[in-house]
Amino acid sequence: MSPPGHSAISATRYRFFAHVAGHAHLPELVTLAETVEQWWDGIETYLTTGITNAASEGNNRLIKLEVRNAFGFRNRANQRLRSRCATTRRSRREAHPH
């Protein structure tokens, strides 16, 4: 399935905001519209390319978890090594299936 064209995305965006304007008495819907507007560049990029930053966000989460688990390490090199090992575990498993 190919990504939608710019005109289709623009038309859908317009319909969404027109719907929100018709229901402006719902504060949750207004907040949603404000959030969509704020993040529109990233949303449109995903819709046209299908590319996300999910992998980097997942790695950041794992690194933060390892930093919390390694609290108290005196050696910063060991802390970095733990973070690196945590973020490459899945790729190492996929390279050597059992």
List pLDDT tens digits, range 47-74.
998 888 888 888 888 888 877 776 666 7
Given a contact cutoff of 8 angstroms between Cβ atoms, the answer to whether 91 and 62 are in contact is: no
Task: Break the chain into its structural domains and give their ranges.
Answer: 6-49, 54-95
Strands (E) in 20-98, as ranges, are: none
Question: How would residue 97 be classed by pLDDT, with cut points 50, 70 and 90?
Answer: low
Is pLDDT above 70 for 89?
A: no
Enter the pTM of the model.
0.58
Tokens 């973070």 sit on residue? 83
* Half-sphere exposure at residue 23, Cβ-oriented, CA atoms within 13 angstroms: 13
Q: Indicate if the alpha-carbon torsion angle 48, 51, 53, 54 is positive or negative.
A: positive
